[in-house]
Amino acid sequence: MWVPKYIYVGDIDTNDALDIRGMPQEDRDQICALLNCSANPILAERWPIAQQMYESVGAEAQFVIYPGVGHGITPQMWLDIENFFNQHKLTLPPESPSSLAAKATSSAAIVLTWKDNSNNETGFNIQREEGAM
């Protein structure tokens, strides 16, 4: 299921949510090299890097930088967030199938049948596990 993501920051926001305290120094150095950490970070400068990271793994999100905004939310930001989520409403998950039946057709094959109770899915994943339940 795709979850809509609206990721935003003010272009003068310096309140860094990246907490690297307590991490081994080697990890801190690698993270800071990747994200260009500084004592007084301007988070918007890292936004293209964050967006690139999302895109590189196929994640979808809308990234927005608000000019003249520090660490806070303006009325315009609230409106944009509300509009985004009104346009990207989550759909309900599909109804579970019912009337599941299994018939062994040989020592190595089982035929499964069920009633499909939904119209908003494209298939089912069937998993098998050895041993007792």
pTM over 0.75: no
Structural element, H or E, at residue 84: helix 75-87
pLDDT at 1 over 60: no
Contact 112, 102 (CB under 8 A): yes
- Please report the pLDDT score of residue 85 as a whole number: 92
Contact 47, 55 (CB under 8 A): no
Q: Give the pairing of strands 98-106 and 62-66.
A: unpaired
- Mean pLDDT within 22-41: 80
Q: Dihedral of CA 48/52/54/58: which sign? A: positive
pLDDT at 133 over 60: no
Residue 18 phi/psi, 5° resolution?
Answer: -80, 100
pLDDT digits (tens, 9 = 90+) for 73-99: 999 999 999 999 999 887 777 788 899
